[in-house]
Structure 1
Amino acid sequence: MSAFILSPDTVWNPKALATGSVPRKVLHRIAFLPKGGGLGLNLRVIMENEPLRYFIALSPFVIAMFIWRDLALPISQAPVAMIIVIGFFEMKVLRVSAEKRKTLMDEDQAARVQDTLSYRARRVLTKLAALRGQTSGEVMLVVEQSELAHVTPLTLVSLQTRDGKPRILSLTPEERDLIAAELFDEEFTERLLHTANLREDVYLRSVSFDARGVSGHARLAALLDSPAPQEAPA
């Protein structure tokens, strides 16, 4: 699953992204409805909903009540057993224990993964600032991943700023394509970052960039790479 580029343009409920501070944490804080991304992304986003996960964990009880109808009442009145099942499903099936985290990846490799993320994020931010012709102000690339371990990683990438007012910035299709092409690839994957994040038990990463640091060379390269303007029809 590819990272989802989160911006007011890529969700059906952009007002939900309003924030008073950045970096903005989204997962488990707000319910967002992605535009596009296919069925897989939508199902994965739904999977972050705790009540739904509780229903999945308790589904054997529901099935048992339909199979053994004479035991339906005793089964429905077994809250302790249900709590134990939910706890096992959440902590053992979907998450990694504290003892196992350190075995996922060694400390040096995890540090290299974070260094790679920082390097690539700054490269992306440089190109975005140059394309926008931005000469001042601070922006940050925020990469948030789900803490659920044994499912497909869910990665949200957004451009945020505290200048003016804290907010998640809108992105053009070209800017979203740039982020998608430059941040992750076959060598540096979302799953690799997710493994490092699981080890450190940290799921929100942000890299800040001052637009004053964009070189003239980067601005020229952005200008040359930008599509030529289309002539108006006569």
Structure 2
Amino acid sequence: MFILTPDTIWNPGALEMRQVPRRVFGRVMIFPRRGAGVGLWLRLIFEIEVLRYLVALLPFLLGAVLFPRYALAISQAPLPMLIVIYLFEAKVLRLSKPAAKALASEAEVERGLDLLRVRAVAVLSKIAAGRGMAEGRLHLVVEQSEMWRMPPLTLVSVQSEAGPEVMRLSVDERALLAGLFDDGFSERDLLRVNLAAGACLRDVAFDVRGVSAHARLAALIG
């Protein structure tokens, strides 16, 4: 999971938005600040379509290098290349629609999304209480890559309708987001639910007027 805020990436301008939720995959490239692991960098780089296409076409590139006499013929065979790219994207990295739907039953999808919603509301309530917000709507947005056969890549952000904007989060607020996933409900579990439901972006909205007096008091004491 990567928490997306203007303070965690080198290019915060990529988070400018006109409406909630702000999508990332397929629209902008983000560059994490120092502290991000190599695995996260590689996973983000793999989201770039052109680079994935190069991986799929690697056999053609190797063939042209190892057999120079056939290099011209290989370079002039676009149809096989397109077929290889399609098979790599649709069959190797992703699941077909029937296979994706079979990952989870409707009941499992509902339970997973309900659990995400409950945890998201709890996080947003604590953030709103900690900031002393009296009005407005916050959104906890969870976006995942659709590639099932790769390690899950999950982007989590708190977005405000005021602006609208992707909010800057303190270290303590980012720590609250860690509670979205655990051994009982992991990123892979959410991806399974998302693929079965056919949507990999989840937006949980919360009206801050719903923050309880107890939550506000606990934030004040804290």
Alpha-carbon deviation of 1:219? Answer: 1.4
Alpha-carbon deviation of 1:136? Answer: 1.1
**One-letter code aligned to 1:60:** P
**One-letter code aligned to 2:103:** L
Aligned to 1:171: 169
Q: Percent identity?
A: 51
Alpha-carbon deviation of 1:60? Answer: 0.7
**One-letter code aligned to 1:45:** L
RMSD between aligned alpha carbons?
0.9
Report the secondary structure of 1:209's partner residue. Answer: strand
Alpha-carbon deviation of 1:79? Answer: 0.4
Aligned to 1:232: none
- Whole-angstrom CA distance in 1 between matches of 2:130 and 2:79: 57
Correspondence 1:218 to 2:215: yes
- Whole-angstrom CA distance in 2 between matches of 1:25 and 1:211: 23
Aligned to 1:151: 150
Report the secondary structure of 1:142's partner residue. Answer: strand
Alpha-carbon deviation of 1:179? Answer: 0.9
Aligned to 2:99: 100
**One-letter code aligned to 1:220:** L
Correspondence 1:198 to 2:174: no
Aligned to 2:3: 5
Aligned length: 221
Q: Deviations over 1:114-169 (max 9, x none)?
A: 00000000011111111111111110100000111110111000000112x21111
- Whole-angstrom CA distance in 1 between matches of 2:187 and 2:83: 32
- Whole-angstrom CA distance in 2 between matches of 1:213 and 1:110: 26
The alignment's TM-score, normalised by the length of structure 1, stands at 0.92
**One-letter code aligned to 1:74:** A
Instruction: Return 95-104 or 116-125, whichever deviates more.
Output: 95-104
5+ residue gaps in structure 1?
227-234
- Whole-angstrom CA distance in 2 between matches of 1:149 and 1:85: 19
1:189 aligned to which of 186, 189, 206: 186
- Whole-angstrom CA distance in 2 between matches of 1:37 and 1:134: 31
Aligned to 1:83: 82
Report the secondary structure of 1:207's partner residue. Answer: strand
Alpha-carbon deviation of 1:222? Answer: 2.1
Aligned to 2:108: 109
Structure 1 consecutive aligned stretches of length 4 or more whose deviation exceeds 3 Å: none
- Whole-angstrom CA distance in 1 between matches of 2:189 and 2:53: 28
5+ residue gaps in structure 2?
none
- Whole-angstrom CA distance in 2 between matches of 1:24 and 1:10: 16
Aligned to 2:46: 47
- Whole-angstrom CA distance in 2 between matches of 1:96 and 1:173: 36
